[in-house]
Amino acid sequence: MSNKAKKGILLVQLGTPDSPTTPDVKKYLTEFLMDPRVIDIPYFQRTLLVKGIIARTRAPKSAKIYETIWDKETGSPLMHYSLLQRDLLQEALGEEYHVELAMRYQNPSIEFALRNLEGMLLESIRVIPLFPQYASATSGSVIDRVMELIRKWNYLPEISFVSNFCTDELMTETFADHARKHDLARFDHFVFSYHGLPVRQLGKVDPTGRLKCPETGCDSCKSTVNTYCYLSQCYATTRAIASKLGLKEEQYSLCFQSRLGKEPWIQPYTSDLLHDLAHKGYKKLLVFSPAFVADCIETIDEIGVEYAKEFKDLGGEEVCLVESLNDDPKWIASLKQLALNAKN
């Protein structure tokens, strides 16, 4: 057995409640929404908004939804698939590596996972936020928290981070493979729905303050992969998947879901797009959710149930959801390449 220090891999997902009960959902929502990178307003105002209104009113409703997707044996789908991804990546990398899983919010926490890694006196640690597109509220928050905790260590192994993998070949091919499980010819239109962000957060990634993207993005967003522009990376992921499926531009649309509050978020909103497509007479939609690498409440319920019902109420016939990456072997191969910092 070699005495050489192992290399650590830290996978970090967004998070999930510990159970589908109102107290646990409220605890999760509070930690999530109190993150200043998620709701970027002054602490006092954020506290009043989150603890006084959002978490208190949304927790009971969200808990009922979580109950519908919760498995008695494996828990939330996000946790189930994240654990599978951790175990399968560990198997793919072998004994020279040690893979830990953390959730940015709730359990297992980043602090818990880093404590495990610290005790192993590792040669290096590579952190992979499990978000294909970079945003300050997701990948940025993960990196921020890891740096906050790890700077207190008495020894520092080599640290590296994956900022984004929005056009990763194997990742986008996996989404295309999952779409091919459906009869593509029977769909009128293809929808790529991403998690939304407040418009102001797009401009804040530019330290000069000169970047002022309108609500639907500037022209370059739709054609160029800008390193820290979430919107441009969403378009890049969409183009990559559409190209693999041979889709023409007029066959698909991009939109954004899960907005919160009354301020402008990046557009078009998924709900508005569904109204527009129904008005134009489209009947059958195939929907991708490429901001998520594992099926979760945002895919299974928000798209598969809520938006499907909304579209049918508008006169549409079907909204079919493309399965996320989950435990697909090709996605695990993609994760391995990200862990090794290898180009595909």
User: Judging by beta carbons within 10 Å of its beta carbon (0-12, 13-18, 19+), is residue 96 exposed, middle or buried?
Assistant: exposed
Among candidates 136, 242, 255, 235, which has minimal Cα distance to 184? 242
First-residue to last-residue Cα distance in the chain: 31
* Sign of the four-CA dihedral 323, 327, 333, 337: positive
Q: What is the pLDDT of residue 217?
A: 67
Q: Are the CB atoms for 267 and 243 separated by under 8 Å? A: no
Distance CA 10, CA 12 (A): 6
Q: What is the pLDDT of residue 216?
A: 64
What is the CATH topology of the domain spanning 7-165+329-340? Rossmann fold (3.40.50)
Q: Are the CB atoms for 234 and 194 separated by under 8 Å? A: yes
Distances (CA, A) of 206 to 43, 198, 202: 22, 15, 8
Distances (CA, A) of 184 to 3, 307, 316: 53, 20, 17
Question: 339: which DSSP letter?
Answer: H
Strands of the chain, DSSP E = 7-15, 97-105, 124-129, 158-161, 189-195, 252-257, 284-288, 318-321
Q: What is the pLDDT of residue 69?
A: 96
Distance CA 199, CA 229 (A): 11
Distance CA 197, CA 217 (A): 12
The residue type at 35: D
Known binding residue 118? Answer is: no
Tokens of 201: 């957060």
At 119-168, the pLDDT tens digits run 999 999 999 999 999 999 999 999 999 999 999 999 999 999 999 999 99
At 159-209, the pLDDT tens digits run 999 999 999 999 999 999 999 999 999 999 999 999 999 888 877 776 655
Positions of the chain with pLDDT under 70: 1-3, 206-219, 343-344
Domains 7-165+329-340 and 169-321 share a fold: yes
Q: What is the pLDDT of residue 162?
A: 97
Pick the CATH number of 169-321 from 1.10.10.10, 3.30.70.360, 3.40.140.10, 3.40.50.1400: 3.40.50.1400
Place of tokens 């441009």: 232
The residue ranges of every structural domain in the chain are: 7-165+329-340, 169-321
Cis peptide bond upstream of 108, omega within 30? yes
Mapped to the 3 state alphabet, what secondary structure does 220-247 carry? HHHCCCCCCCHHHHHHHHHHHHHHHHCC
Q: What is the pLDDT of residue 1?
A: 42
Known binding residue 298? Answer is: yes
